[in-house]
Amino acid sequence: MRKKTLVITGATKGIGKAIAEKFAQNGVDIAFTYNSNSAVADELVKSWESEYGIKARAYPLNILEPTEFKPLFEAIDKDFSRVDFFVSNAMIYGRPVVGGYGKFMRLKPRGLNNIYTATVNAFVLGSQEAAKRMQKVGGGSIVTMSSTGNLIYIDNYAGHGTNKAAVEAMSRYAAVELGEMGIRVNAVSGGPIDTDALKAFTNYEEVKAETIKRSALDRMGSPEDIAGSVYFLCTPEAGWITGQTIVVDGGTTFR
């Protein structure tokens, strides 16, 4: 894994940060995006380079603007000689999801469309650009982040849950068509993970309590729980795994 390159969207906090750090710990160079906080991104670059001896670079990206993906990868090309792994992780919450986060009868096109753009479009466009570069080095691995909210009912989660189901389906199509390039494509579907994004939910405390109640392990999931699974899917040990969704949920979906 050493001296290979990971491209990951949204890695300044939460799950994305944990994933990037897991790869950095194993000698993988990191190209990651951030939405607006360049100061935090710059600190992570310095920290990972100093602590793990890898190369790291940060790039601004608004995942609601599909045209930004091509120039993003062109900028990455200037800093890195190869792309081996792509993780589509960045998500949106707050004002952009108004109309997409709520009860079924309150869902609105703008919010739903924004969630689709940030979930499915971002995966497609990022994967297309990454695949072109992976093909040049003989293959690679793509992972998209999903959620068990497309398997079980979560209050106010219809907009997100249905789009996570869509991105899982898209990843299976990508797996078939990119396989001939030596590129594997999988999804990691997490149960509720204790992050700032989850804390933004109006019913966070209720979700947290219910998750702990349902979990066979009697705890919430952490970003590190997800990071380990994403990393595994990119290693040679997962060399015959493609087109799959790996559920990482502490047993919450079967209780």
CA dihedral for 93, 13, 80, 7, sign (positive or negative): negative
- Which helix (H) or strand (E) covers residue 87, if one does? strand 85-88
Distance CA 156, CA 101 (A): 6
Which one of the listed residues 34, 59, 101, 157 is annotated catalytic?
Answer: 157
Q: Is 101 a catalytic residue?
A: no
Which one of the listed residues 34, 59, 164, 231 is annotated catalytic?
Answer: 164
Distance CA 146, CA 186 (A): 10
Q: Is 164 a catalytic residue?
A: yes
The answer to whether 219 and 213 have CB atoms below 8 angstroms apart is no
- Strand, coil or helix: 154: coil
Cα-Cα-Cα-Cα torsion 196, 198, 204, 210, nearest 10 degrees, comes to: -130
User: Active-site residue numbers?
Assistant: 157, 164
